[in-house]
Structure 1
Amino acid sequence: MRSVQVRRFGDPDGLEVVEVAEPAPGEDQVLVATEATGVGGVDAVIRRGTIGGLGFSPGFVPGSEVAGTVVSVGAGVDPTWVGRRVWAFTGTGGGYTERALARLEDVVPLPEGLGAVAAVTLGSAVPVARFALAHGHAAPGGSVLVRGAAGSLGIAAVELAVRAGAAAVAVTTSSPARGERLRALGATHVLDRRGAGDGPAAYDLVVDVVGGPDLPDFLDRLAPNGRHVLVGVVGGMPPADFGARLLAAFRQSRSFSTFSLDTVARADLRAARAEALDAAARGELHAVVHDVLPLEAAAQAHRRMDEGSVFGRIVLVP
């Protein structure tokens, strides 16, 4: 079967399609015939080699979520799973492939009427956004700034903040055209990447997908008792001394935290994923797909990610 491997970390040309043996599911695992694979921001960060200390090496297969049909199961898994269409979390990697392994506890049946492409656009993004908003104590009537709102995670955060009753949902994005698309999804204010625009002067919550060198400037945009929740570093790591901005505004009682789904109980996470897919099937959440490309075009997908030209999610199909 075909898989995409990172043969060399750095630019997208280091991605290569290779033939590998089909894996066999182990205990409590299923093997999914992939119909669609989501291309995530973390995939690009790992491929660039900017996350150190996590043991990535050449031969690594990117991709953390797939949708398709279960074709075989390992020991301890009910054989009636075979033939079922599912969304599956494959871990830090392993998704850019024709057949992907996943633990049963990370598998959710696809609801009727929801396609594989939509599923991998929302299956990870919506739970991250949901729990990040809860982590930041988003409340009805509050103000939320979503930094880096043009990706699938940012779009999910916008839609969920609106549904939660936020009085103001501001976004940062790279162009007026993208801003208008985000307004159509519920954003009330549009800012540029540096935070300039027509939004409130201060926010109760910043949900940050970007990180990078400009992060401290957004700590300055927090209201008293405001919370900044970092959920991604697609713009790179923040400066080492960014906490000095919080200390400089000590009397404002502002706070900063990171958030990862790794801290959510498995049962709660599985329920949240199922709820997200059901909501999408009902038309309550929107799967915004930038493009659907063949598996062999993974390098092209990553070039677009690096250019910052993606609105929504790119999906790979075998």
Structure 2
Amino acid sequence: MRAVVIQEFGAPEGMAVVELPDPSPGRGEVLVEVEATGVAGADVFIRKGAPGFAKGHIPGGEIAGTVTAAGPGADPSWVGRRVWAFTGVGGGYVERAVVPVTALHALPGDLSAVDAVALGNAGVVAHFGLRHARFEPGESVLVRGAAGSLGIMTVQLAAQAGASAVAVTTSSRERGERLRRLGATHVLDRSGEGDGPAGFDVIIDVAAGPGLPAFFARLNPNGRMVAVGAVAGMPPADFGMEMFAAFQRSLSFATFSANTVPEADRLRLTGEQFAAASRGELIPVVHERLPLEEAVRAHRAMDAGEVFGRIVLTPAKS
């Protein structure tokens, strides 16, 4: 089978398509013929050289496709079913993937594989990220870096949960108008300037990077900022000094990863969100579909900040 591997960390050109042996499912696992793979900010972060990964790593945290074989101890009724699967920190940029049955969720009949990976893990992180921030209906929310799939899902969920205001930072008027149609009430530029509330009860930060500390000033007293991504890189080492400078406003900062959510809870929520998407209550946004061999092009677009929603790789059948 074909797979995309990271041969050199850094630029997108360090990735390459290689031929690997077809995998076989082990105990409690199934083999999935992959129809769609989501390209996520975490993939970019790893490709640029995040610690803990070795050359030869296959990016991709979620896939959707059809189960073609079941290993020992796996329910054979999975064979032939359309599924979404969370592959963790990698393993998704492939034509065929082996995943444990505990990471599978059956797809509703009217939800495409492409839409499933545009919604899947992004919806999970958005939901539990808001919960981690202790968001309550009637509070105001700012989504920093809202144009990706994670930001888009956070906007929709915050609006549906009764936020008094849902502001976004983004790079253009056109993107801002698209985010308004998805639930945003105010559009700010990347620095946080624009027509919106002076302060927010909750900031969900997808971007991080050097600009993170300045947004502590946009938190209301008792405000909470939760970093759910780092698409702009790591913040400065001393970023917490801005929060300490506002000590009397009792601000809070936290990070959030879906890895801390029990797998059963993630899958339960995924099922609820897939059903909501089938009813038209959640909107997966797909920026572009690309064949597997164009993963480098996908990562170039991510690096350039050109993506609104999610790029989806669609491995061709062989």
Query: TM-score, normalization: structure 1?
Result: 0.98
Aligned counterparts, 1:12-91, within 5 A: 12-49=12-49, 51-52=50-51, 54=52, 56-91=53-88
> How much does 1:77 deviate?
0.8
Kindly state the Cα deviation for residue 132 of structure 1 after the two structures are TM-superposed.
0.4
| Distance in 2 separating the partners of 1:249 and 1:58 | 43
- CA deviations on 1:140-161 (whole Å, 9 max, x unpaired) are 1110000000000000000000
Percent identity between the two aligned chains: 60
How far does residue 103 in structure 1 lie from its aligned partner after superposition? Answer: 1.6
Q: Which amino acid is 1:4 matched to?
A: V
Moved over 6 A (4+): none
Matches for 1:193-232 after TM superposition, within 5 Å: 193-232=190-229
1:92 & 1:265 partners in 2: Cα distance?
16
CA distance in 1 between counterparts of 2:42 and 2:67 reads 25
Distance apart, 1:134 and its partner CA: 0.7
Name 2:307's counterpart in structure 1. 310
Q: Distance in 1 between matches of 2:68 and 2:109?
A: 19
> In 2, distance between residues paired with 1:200 and 1:76?
55
Q: Find the aligned partners of 2:17 and 2:126 in 1 and give their Cα distance.
A: 32
Which residue of the partner structure matches residue 293 of structure 2? 296
Q: Which amino acid aligns with 1:32?
A: V
For 2:234, which of 237, 251, 261 is the aligned residue? 237
Q: Distance in 1 between matches of 2:124 and 2:67?
A: 23
State the partner residue of 2:2. 2
Indicate which of 90, 95, 100 corresponds to 1:98: 95
Q: Which residue number corresponds to residue 136 of structure 2?
A: 139
Counterpart Cα distance in 1 of 2:216 and 2:28 = 43
* Partners of 2:39 and 2:260 in 1: CA distance: 23
Residue 75 of structure 1 deviates from its aligned partner by 2.0
- Out of 158, 161, 164, the residue aligned to residue 155 of structure 2 is 158
Mapped to 2, the partners of 1:109 and 1:232 lie a distance apart of 27
Secondary structure (helix, strand or coil) at the match of 1:123 reads helix
Alpha-carbon offset, residue 246 of structure 1: 1.2
Q: CA shift at 1:219, angstroms? A: 1.2
CA contact (8 A) 1:34 1:100 kept: yes
Q: State the distance in 1 between where 2:241 and 2:168 align.
A: 25
After TM superposition, list the pairs within 5 Å mapping 1:263-278 onto structure 2: 263-278=260-275
Number of residue pairs the alignment of both structures matches? 315
Assess if the C-alpha contact under 8 Å between 1:90 and 1:103 holds in 2: no
Give the partner amino acid of 1:224: P
TM-score, length of structure 2 as denominator length:
0.98
The answer to whether the 8 A contact 1:225-1:255 is kept is yes
Distance 2:126 2:88 in 1: 18
Distance 1:314 1:285 in 2: 18
RMSD: 0.7
CA distance in 1, matches of 2:264, 2:313: 28
How far apart, CA to CA, are the structure 1 residues paired with 2:64 and 2:106?
A: 9
Q: Which moved more, 1:169-178 or 1:267-276?
A: 267-276
Aligned-pair CA distance for 1:62: 0.4
Residue ranges of structure 1 left out of the alignment (5+ in a row): none
1:76 shift after superposition: 1.6
